[in-house]
Amino acid sequence: MTSMNTVIVQLPTSDPRATPRIIELSPGQEATFGRGGPDCPVNILISDQAVSRVAGRIRAVEDHWSISNLRAINTYVVENPEGAGEFIKVSPRRGDMPVPFEFARLVIPVTEGIFSLQVFAPQHLYLDLEASGWDRPGQQTVQAFPLDESAKYFLVLVAMCEPALRDSSAVAIPTAREIVARLSPLTSCQDLTVAAVHFHIDYLASRKLRVKERDDEQAPRCDWQRAALVSLALRFNLVREEHLTLLPPQRIPRGRDHIGV
């Protein structure tokens, strides 16, 4: 039976029909990865000349896992597939670096492309502040970013963040005209105009998220505002993948036989 504190490492398989091999690590246990050899066995074999014989180590802790980069030159990357492009870099010789993601992808460069592992950490611990006594009575704490998720400006913000939430490599942010087209199927947005979208963006920037003005005459104000809003909203999890359900279903282009996520 798998323990609640078990870290699960899922190894890649070339056959999509095959059951992936997994390694379970209890707190304190570790698994090494690398090219291995007769005198240096590893738990996870990566048969590639660009990978040293013992390239790194995954170690299970109580409610997370850590990684050590045992190489002197290559950097590894740990991605959050469920986030909005979050990742951390594991520098050469970095030891026991804590990984904050419950579900992560460890990416290791090889001679042709990359080698990746899926790592599932235990469910993170969240405190009951009222029961623990940390939530003290007194003057009420205000929200740093007081967003109303039922407001139209929040729909505009979600629409701006949608490309990055669906594809962490996306860099294009929808224009005001594209936001109008994206939201128009909603009953509440059938009268939405480009001018209204610009108003909501300016309201978000000046009142709700309070992004700083840029002294850049070459960049149109609306462009840097949209970029700053998306960056801040994703960085502080103000807009998350679950908010995509507020948007209309995506239209599938003709000739496509798959359904967008």
Question: If 0-12 CB within 10 Å is exposed, 13-18 middle and 19+ buried, where does residue 151 land?
Answer: middle
What was the pLDDT predicted at 220? 54
Token couple for 56: 């790194």
pLDDT at 139 > cutoff 80? no
What residue spans in the chain does CATH classification 2.60.200.20 cover?
7-120
Give the pairing type, strands 76-79 and 87-90: antiparallel
Give the pairing type, strands 30-34 and 56-60: antiparallel
> What distance in Å separates the CA atoms of residue 113 and residue 116, rounded to the nearest whole number?
10
Which amino acid is it at 184?
S
Give the pairing type, strands 30-34 and 44-45: parallel
- Fold classification of 7-120 is Tumour Suppressor Smad4 (2.60.200)
What was the pLDDT predicted at 260? 37
Instruction: Name the helix (H) or strand (E) containing 89.
Output: strand 87-90
What was the pLDDT predicted at 182? 96
What was the pLDDT predicted at 134? 60
Q: What is the pLDDT of residues 153-206, one digit of tens each?
A: 999 999 999 999 988 777 789 999 999 999 999 999 999 999 999 989 988 998
What was the pLDDT predicted at 1? 41
87 forms bridges with which residues in the sheet?
A: 79
Mean pLDDT of 118-140: 71
- For the question of whether the overall pTM of this predicted structure is more than 0.75, the answer is no
What was the pLDDT predicted at 124? 74
Give the pairing type, strands 114-120 and 103-109: antiparallel
What was the pLDDT predicted at 146? 86
User: Over pLDDT 90: what percentage of the chain?
Assistant: 52
